[in-house]
Structure 1
Amino acid sequence: MIGFSSFRTTRETGLAAQACIEKIQTLAHQANKGFSSPLYAMIDIADRLERDPQTARNIWVVRSNQQSGAETTHTRISAWPLRFSPQAHASEKPLLYLSSSVTSAELCALSSESAQRGIFCNDIETLSSNWPKGAHPWLPLWLAANPQCLPFDPASGAEARAIAIAALQSLYVEGRHGFYYMALHDDPNDFTGPMSSLSANQALKGMYKVSELDTDIQQPRVRLLGAGLALREVISAARMLREDWGVASELWSCPSYTRLARDANSAERWNRMHPGRLRRSSHLRDCLNTKDSPVIAVTGYAQHVADQIGAHITSRFVALGADSTESLPGEPTSGKTVDKHWIVTLALRALAQEDKIPQEYVEQAMRRYLLQ
């Protein structure tokens, strides 16, 4: 396995990354006129970076994925030649790796051959599979446990572009170790709308607010968190809670539960080791620092991915993943996804446990949505 010292991050590396960043920022301004899926956004970025003579020489693009792209081939390489390339060892260039890696073993091999460097984009959620999000159950465990990997599950093309820019800045301009990972779905629905610079910055920390609560309305309220394609079900559940049960929802997009958990764990560890110093907070605590309403965290992976943040939530917390519930009538057991009806029901149950709504609401929801 090649190590971090195999490639040299030089001034030329930073200039190459900056050229790519400027190109992607131009694409982002153009994309604000419409909306795209994370998969479309990243393939479009790869295609345009390859077509532009100013950026084509500044990036390695590796394509081992099953999605079609542009017909250009001049930078489509296997990562293996980077081991032997004097040019690569003299000055590192950004690496964009488009893959279809179902298992952690496959992804581990890809990251090893590229010295655990680069931006890895995985499109397996778009392929037929027996597993949630197309990923073998060990894959999300490997992502969360690998300290060199910063995993993201973007909900929209805007989130994917923001993550790509941040990765180029962090890895190749600032010279930090490790690699970024993005799970890509191909649903073009507009989950979050155009992203402000503040939202983009907070998304990179793990979560940002999609909609505010109406503080003038006195009604039961919950905070709903969703990642990736699961955010679509979260938004639908918020609508059902409002229209059918009189419950208000504060919506958050959470591109990385893992980053939120790592940041919160780091702050907690620092506070424990420095009891006499000013306590450190975390982005998760800053976003969800009140105890007045339950938090429902939803992921398209297994429940343990969202459960990572539970220890740092001060209010009632419920994690929901693709393995959290039984299949609905007529729903296939393979490749399960989270369902808006379960999100609604679990939100009602959390409110009932705090005596904010009658318990019979939960029983009515179970019957109404055929969940019994």
Structure 2
Amino acid sequence: QHADGHSPILAATNPAVVTYDPAYGYEMGHIIRDGIERMYGPAASGEGTGPASDKNLMYYITVYNEPITQPSEPENLDVEGVLKGIYRVSASDVQGPKSQILASGVSVPWALEAQRILAEDWGVSADVWSVTSWNELRRDGLAAEEDAFLNPGEPARIPFVARQLADAQGPIVAVSDYMKAVPDQIRQFLPNKFASLGADGFGFSDTRAAARRFFKNDTHSIVVKTLQLLAARGDVEEGAPQYAMDRYKLLDVNAGTTGGAGGDA
């Protein structure tokens, strides 16, 4: 399991597997409750009014041995978003160029730190979204495409991820602690300029911070990639990405700081 960058992709090949990459305990609580209802719900025995049981399901939930700060469940939590795969965890109130950061699992705290740096150092307004399931978002998107294909002339159903991000302005940086192919699963359903960060290639044995810097999916990599996409649109100065790379020593694995927010495991 060490240096696992691909297991969500393997899980995606089995239609019986429901895969989640939650960040927080409150997300996991809703996911597990919903999973129990789907697999063992009262409708299975003809009793009650709950969702029908589906015995052709199994759940793969990726959790980490890396401690992170666990917030309490927000008021008015978008539970539907948690279960279907994406909800906004932090909206930026900065007046500046807009961007979106989509993150899953342990990378959500990195995205929140990148949001702060983008605001304080660059005047960029970045909203952060917790993607609890790239896989389920893709399945929903493919189902919407199939429905449109088989029902020509009928109004097309909009994929859930597209509805959630319908009003999201600016480019999207999608990040996980898995290979880029994991967040790339939703790329086709979004019109925004889209870039993925992840842990591709062979493993790298070092500290967590050094490994994330090596793979370029850490906090400062999110910042630099966001600036690159904004610079391509003319929303920030052309030289901002290179200046940021130099400022944060992006090519130095020993300069990484991502991965210690909750202490040592």
Smaller-chain TM-score bracket = 0.7 to 0.9
1:165 aligned to 2:33? yes
Corresponding residue for residue 319 of structure 1: 196
Q: Where do residues 85-100 of structure 1 align in structure 2 (5 Å cutoff)?
A: none
Corresponding residue for residue 363 of structure 1: 242
Corresponding residue for residue 257 of structure 2: none
Which contiguous aligned blocks of 4+ residues in structure 1 show a shift greater than 3 angstroms?
186-193, 195-198, 332-337
Letter in 1 for 2:222: I
CA distance in 1, matches of 2:149, 2:81: 26
Corresponding residue for residue 339 of structure 1: 218
State the SS of the aligned residue for 1:303. coil
CA distance in 2, matches of 1:238, 1:334: 17
Q: Where do residues 44-59 of structure 1 align in structure 2 (5 Å cutoff)?
A: none
CA distance in 2, matches of 1:197, 1:171: 26
Corresponding residue for residue 305 of structure 1: 182
Q: Which has the higher contact order (CA 8 A, sep 6+)?
A: 2
Deviation at 1:335, TM superposition (A): 9.4
**Which one of the candidate residues 109, 113, 117 is aligned to 1:240?**
117
State the SS of the aligned residue for 2:105. coil
Question: Does structure 2 conserve the Cα–Cα contact (< 8 Å) formed by 1:290 and 1:314?
Answer: no
Please tell me whether Structure 1 or Structure 2 has the larger radius of gyration of its CA atoms.
1
Question: Does structure 2 conserve the Cα–Cα contact (< 8 Å) formed by 1:191 and 1:232?
Answer: no
Corresponding residue for residue 265 of structure 1: 142
If the length of structure 1 is used for normalisation, what is the TM-score?
Answer: 0.59
CA, structure 1 residues 223+273, in 2 after alignment: closer, same or farther (shift >3 Å)? same
CA, structure 1 residues 149+257, in 2 after alignment: closer, same or farther (shift >3 Å)? same
Letter in 1 for 2:237: P
Letter in 2 for 1:175: S
Question: Does structure 1 conserve the Cα–Cα contact (< 8 Å) formed by 2:213 and 2:250?
Answer: no
Corresponding residue for residue 206 of structure 1: 85
CA, structure 1 residues 236+138, in 2 after alignment: closer, same or farther (shift >3 Å)? closer
Deviation at 1:180, TM superposition (A): 1.1
**Which one of the candidate residues 330, 349, 353 is aligned to 2:232?**
353
Gaps of 5+ in 2: 42-51, 252-265
1:175 aligned to 2:53? yes
1:144 aligned to 2:17? no
CA distance in 1, matches of 2:102, 2:70: 13
1:224 aligned to 2:101? yes
State the SS of the aligned residue for 1:315. coil
If the length of structure 2 is used for normalisation, what is the TM-score?
Answer: 0.81
Cα deviation per residue 1:180-224 (whole Å; 9 max; x = unaligned)? Answer: 11111244534654145642221110011112233xx54111111
CA distance in 1, matches of 2:226, 2:217: 14
Question: Does structure 1 conserve the Cα–Cα contact (< 8 Å) formed by 2:177 and 2:217?
Answer: yes
CA distance in 2, matches of 1:163, 1:335: 32
Corresponding residue for residue 49 of structure 2: none
CA, structure 1 residues 286+334, in 2 after alignment: closer, same or farther (shift >3 Å)? closer
CA, structure 1 residues 335+319, in 2 after alignment: closer, same or farther (shift >3 Å)? closer
Letter in 2 for 1:200: V
- RMSD over aligned Cα atoms: 2.8
CA distance in 2, matches of 1:196, 1:295: 26
Question: Does structure 1 conserve the Cα–Cα contact (< 8 Å) formed by 2:101 and 2:126?
Answer: yes
State the SS of the aligned residue for 2:182. helix
CA distance in 1, matches of 2:77, 2:221: 31
State the SS of the aligned residue for 1:304. coil
Deviation at 1:138, TM superposition (A): 4.8
Deviation at 1:154, TM superposition (A): 0.9
Deviation at 1:336, TM superposition (A): 5.4
Question: Does structure 2 conserve the Cα–Cα contact (< 8 Å) formed by 1:154 and 1:182?
Answer: yes
CA distance in 1, matches of 2:124, 2:234: 14
Question: Does structure 2 conserve the Cα–Cα contact (< 8 Å) formed by 1:191 and 1:231?
Answer: no
Letter in 2 for 1:296: V
State the SS of the aligned residue for 1:309. helix
Question: Does structure 1 conserve the Cα–Cα contact (< 8 Å) formed by 2:95 and 2:123?
Answer: no
Cα deviation per residue 1:23-73 (whole Å; 9 max; x = unaligned)? Answer: xxxxxxxxxxxxxxxxxxxxxxxxxxxxxxxxxxxxxxxxxxxxxxxxxxx
State the SS of the aligned residue for 1:331. helix
State the SS of the aligned residue for 1:237. helix
CA distance in 1, matches of 2:35, 2:172: 29
CA distance in 2, matches of 1:333, 1:340: 9
CA, structure 1 residues 353+337, in 2 after alignment: closer, same or farther (shift >3 Å)? closer
